[in-house]
Amino acid sequence: MKVPTESEWLEAFWCDQCLGVTWYHVKKCGSAYLVTYANHDSAHALCPKALINR
């Protein structure tokens, strides 16, 4: 799932080994991309269904 903004977004990846989703914050910096783990609250802001399981 990708939710774009002008130069940054949150992106989720499914892990077949741990059977879970990991969220990343992606930010375009010129011609490069900075990728960091998204914090828990940012990830859930994009997935209202996940709030039920909190």
User: For residues 51 and 16, what is the distance between their CA atoms, to the nearest angstrom?
Assistant: 23
Look at residue 9 in the predicted model and tell me its pLDDT: 85
Across the chain, the runs of DSSP E, i.e. the strands, are: 2-3, 8-15, 20-29, 32-37
Task: Write out pLDDT tens, residues 34-46.
Answer: 998 887 665 455 5
Structural domain boundaries of the chain? 2-52
Residues of the chain under the 70 pLDDT cut: 1-5, 40-54
Look at residue 51 in the predicted model and tell me its pLDDT: 47
